[in-house]
Amino acid sequence: MAEQPSSGPSSQTTPISSHRPAAPEPNAGNPTIESTHVALLSTGGPGHAREVPRRNRLRDNGLGSVFWMSVGVSTLFVVWAVAFTDNLNEVTSDSLNWMTSTFGWTYLVVTLCILVFLVFLAFSPAGDLRLGRDDEKPEFSTPSWLAMILSAVMGIGLISYGVAEPISHFASPPHGLAEPNTTAAAVRAMQYSYFDWGVHAWAIFAVFGLAIAYSTHRKGRRTLVSQLFYPLLGERVNGPLGKTIDVLAVFATLFGTTTSLGLGALQVNNGLASLFGTPVDSVSQVMIIAVVTALFTLSAVTGVNKGIKFLSQCSTALAIALFVFILIVGPAVFVANLYIESLGTWASDFFRMSLQGTAFGDLEWMQWWTYFMLAWWVSWGAFVGVFLARISRGRTIRGFIMGVLVVPSAVFFTWFTVFGGTAIHIDMYEGGDIAERTAADINSAFFATLEHYPFATATSVIAVILVVVFFVSGADANTYVLSMMTSNGSLTPARWVLVLWGILTGVTAIVLMLAGGLNALQNTVIVTSLPFLVIVAGLTVSFWKELVSDRKERMK
């Protein structure tokens, strides 16, 4: 598989503070940097947020079969990767080819069905239901709520993919729909970038967030994926079947996080190489992963987040400043025209793109892009869903769906057009070689673009800072969610559990990087997320069943 740059769909989240379960006051302080730990700790609704004495924490965490099975299999995977590297690569590669050629279409069908379901739900009578009590008002104002959603999505994907994907599609148009390096190729490049980072991804996150918010805020259940299946499975969610669902959720989240760690290390390595001539090799990448793992594990355990909060505030301002800078010094008129035309092509081709599979070839391209992207979004579904559920208490289902689907998609569309469109303009009209450099090393695309404008060193430093901060804060929050899911939904996982999952996440990323680099990372996330796609489809059906049942009860 071709190399691709870093970042998961939610690489930046608000940083984590302590494990003291405190529910913040509505609109207090700066909600865009509210502690993710505090946010997640308050998810369980009344009676769930409480402080657990240290001596009782292990018992209350409910460590059981989900924890031991998840840790045991994760450890075996690491041993497999270290001791039988060639076999691991062979098995994952063969599994990838078989699964994507046989079942790859399920990614397309399931995500489109979820999207259609959400749109239908938004305009149905159920759209008026609140994620909480019927008389409960939103915890945060709409501007603050939207700002927090943006803080969750503005990750290193904006840096690494913002140029890399459009310029890659420009040089090699998807499905042969245009001649390379032409005006038609530029439009197709943006169109497919919108597809990969738009409403399909956020439909996955939105259905998770809705189901979790409804289950926790309205029904008072534990924050576990298995609890979302109560309408379908009843008390069996507390038995072996429910535990299997939770284990699958753990593995999907783990490999989504490790993929982001590995790919993020490549992006940071490239930025350091551009600035300081740091070698781009496995030694540098392992060191970067080790340092970042130590930082996010320390943050998750100690709650020392004041520095990260400050950096997160600064990173948001820096991202906006970088965007405005490129918009001013770059080809703004060209970008605006490209935006309008590409948006129209994306809209007119929406359903064709959504269902275009591999009946007539293109399997490798789909593995590089569409299947990989959709698999990544699936693997991040549980984590992003928990985050969205926490900040959306009191909102209507309709308001939630519109905000989560529309706002992040619009932000990504705009960012990709400004940065990707600028790179395309450089190559088309200024004799640039960004596409060529991207083909040689896809992680160099963003920095190659910045080199064409003033203050390249300063803007490259900003880009590296953004990547590192998003890198640490995202992995920090994911460590907490992994610990929570393996502690029977406990909102205060034991510190040693947090440390263990932090170490396992970092070690898994390192062994996959050493085993096969990007290919191993990408292959693994696709192979491990496909079974979880079944869970996503199931929870959607379960959520609808519960909505119908509750509506019948209200009408009696």
- Amino acid identity for residue 217 in this structure: H
Residue 151 has a pLDDT of 64
Residue 306 has a pLDDT of 55
- Amino acid identity for residue 478 in this structure: N
pLDDT digits 0-9 by tens, 198-238? 999 999 999 999 999 999 999 989 889 999 999 999 999 99
Residue 2, phi then psi, degrees to nearest 5: -70, 155
For residues 278-293, average pLDDT? 88
Residue percentage of the chain with pLDDT more than 90: 43
Considering only CA atoms, give the Rg of the chain.
Answer: 22
pLDDT digits 0-9 by tens, 165-203? 999 999 999 999 999 999 999 999 999 999 999 999 999
For residues 339-360, average pLDDT? 93
Which residues, 6 or more positions from 339, have their beta carbon under 8 angstroms from its beta carbon? 190, 413, 414, 417, 421
What share of residues in the chain are helix, strand, coil (percent, to 5)? 75, 0, 20
Residue 222, phi then psi, degrees to nearest 5: -70, 155
pLDDT at 2 over 70: no
Structure tokens at 506: 């970092």
Task: Find the range with the poorest average confidence among 58-67, 140-149, 217-226, 390-399.
Answer: 58-67
**Separation between Cα atoms, residue 229 and residue 215, nearest integer Å:** 10
**Separation between Cα atoms, residue 83 and residue 139, nearest integer Å:** 50
Structure tokens at 15: 């940083």
Residue 309 has a pLDDT of 58
Question: Taking the C-alpha atoms of 349, 353, 359 and 363 in order, what is their torsion angle to the nearest 10 degrees?
Answer: 140
Of 8-12, 13-17, 87-91, 242-246, which one has max mean pLDDT? 242-246
Count of positions (residues) in the chain: 556
Cβ atoms of residues 529 and 379 within 8 Å? yes
pLDDT digits 0-9 by tens, 231-272? 999 999 999 999 999 999 998 888 888 887 887 888 888 888
**Separation between Cα atoms, residue 187 and residue 421, nearest integer Å:** 9
Cβ atoms of residues 430 and 171 within 8 Å? no
Closest by CA position to 214, among listed 537, 487, 539, 491: 539
pLDDT digits 0-9 by tens, 469-520? 877 777 777 888 888 889 988 878 888 998 999 999 989 888 888 887 667 7
**Separation between Cα atoms, residue 456 and residue 382, nearest integer Å:** 38
Instruction: Return mean pLDDT, the chain.
Output: 83
Element (H, E) at 3: none
Closest by CA position to 380, among listed 5, 72, 12, 1: 12
Structure tokens at 206: 């939105």
Closest by CA position to 313, among listed 15, 11, 1, 50: 15
The SS3 assignment for 430 reads coil
pLDDT digits 0-9 by tens, 32-54? 333 444 444 443 333 333 333 44
Cα 82 to Cα 86, 239, 261, 515: the distances in Å are 9, 34, 18, 8
**Domains located in the chain, CATH noted:** 31-42+59-351+361-555 (1.20.1740)
Task: Find the range with the poorest average confidence among 143-147, 318-322, 495-499.
Answer: 143-147
Residue 38 has a pLDDT of 42
Cβ atoms of residues 327 and 339 within 8 Å? no
Q: Give me the DSSP letters along 55-80.
A: HHHHHHHT--HHHHHHHHHHHHHHHH
pLDDT at 163 over 50: yes
